[in-house]
Amino acid sequence: MEKIKLGISTCLLGENVRYDGGHKLDRFLTDTLGQYVEYVPVCPEVECGLPIPRESMHLEGDPDSPRLVTIRTKQDMTDRMVQWARNRIINLEKEDLCGFIFKSDSPSSGMERVKVYNEKGMPVKKGVGMFAKIFMDHFPLLPVEEEGRFHDPNLRENFIERIFTLKRWREVLERKESRGNVVDFHTRHKLLILSHSPKHYQTMGKLVAKAKDFPLKELYQKYQTLLMESLYLKTSPKKNANVLQHLMGYFKEQLSSDEKKELLEVIDHYRQEYIPLIVPITLIQHYVRKYDQPYLKQQVYLNPHPLELQLRNHV
């Protein structure tokens, strides 16, 4: 797989672009995830023409439609930022991004819970950074995350799983449109979708079964929307345990009673969160190889992102 293109707030890469001339280098993003990703850096404040260093800014007014204002001299930067952001978005459309990682708490780049100050100078954490909002409104289905939330292993795994899946889907889009390509992609991703949303699993199964009833463009669009919606929903030990038991069903005839007992125990220990997901997955991968299950061999659920990222060691 070629590298995945992701937008990122420039200061997270260690560039000295912040208002105080500093940066917010994040080593996980540069050194670990960076091995699989090609970043497209975006610093709204510098790219809209503000200097380094510069006066710091915050959001003011209505949390749903705040103004971007410098704190000391009260210069309103809203129009300048909005105009620049709209042009930058058109430019970013050509980049074929699979997601964006924003710098948290920034009045320009923060994705959520950014402070918005009222006329008395009191903050409420209900705002969205001005560029981040325009970006997310324009690309509603793209995976987005903030660097601070990567400390939560579940959010980290979810985001990374989504960008790898979107990249695989984009590879399907690069090929000639055909119903067979959608069916093939769906067949490989079925259990991954089930682990996020049994409801989407059913809806998407029906869509693919009736693929012939839809014009190709409509089929691709519907499928893509459902895919991104389903993966946005979080997995849980309960949902994953159901998928693991579903997987176990494929070995019903082959597993010895001892092997069955052991696998059931491991799944149950995972469901109770005594052990991480990687443990039952490794055991099932062993049986997939041992009993040569071609259908399971192609299931992305067993291998959705590089093992080296160790994402399933912590969920």
Residues near ligand SF4 (CB under 6 A) are 9-11, 17-18, 43-46, 103, 106, 108-109
Smallest separation (angstroms) from ligand SF4 to the CB of 33: 17
3-class secondary structure, 77: coil
User: Which C-beta is closer to ligand SF4: that of 26 or that of 157?
Assistant: 26
User: Which C-beta is closer to ligand SF4: that of 104 or that of 195?
Assistant: 104
User: Which C-beta is closer to ligand SF4: that of 9 or that of 165?
Assistant: 9
Distance from C-alpha of 101 to C-alpha of 41, rounded to nearest angstrom: 10
Smallest separation (angstroms) from ligand SF4 to the CB of 5: 17
Smallest separation (angstroms) from ligand SF4 to the CB of 7: 10
Residue 175: φ, ψ to 5°: -85, 170
Q: Which positions ≥6 away from 164 have C-beta within 8 Å? A: 1, 4, 304, 305
User: Which C-beta is closer to ligand SF4: that of 18 or that of 115?
Assistant: 18
User: Which C-beta is closer to ligand SF4: that of 108 or that of 230?
Assistant: 108
Strands 37-42 and 100-102: unpaired
Give me the helices (H) in the chain, please. 27, 44-47, 78-93, 130-138, 153-174, 179-196, 198-209, 216-232, 237-248, 257-271, 278-290, 294-297
Q: What is the CA radius of gyration of the chain?
A: 22
Q: How far apart are the first and last CA of the chain?
A: 25
User: Which C-beta is closer to ligand SF4: that of 5 or that of 24?
Assistant: 24
CB contact burial 63-98 (16+ within 10 A = b; e otherwise): beebbbbbeeeeeebbeebeebbeebbeebeeeebb
Smallest separation (angstroms) from ligand SF4 to the CB of 288: 43
The one-letter amino acid code at 146 reads E
Smallest separation (angstroms) from ligand SF4 to the CB of 44: 5
Smallest separation (angstroms) from ligand SF4 to the CB of 9: 4
Q: Are 127 and 63 in contact (CB under 8 A)?
A: yes
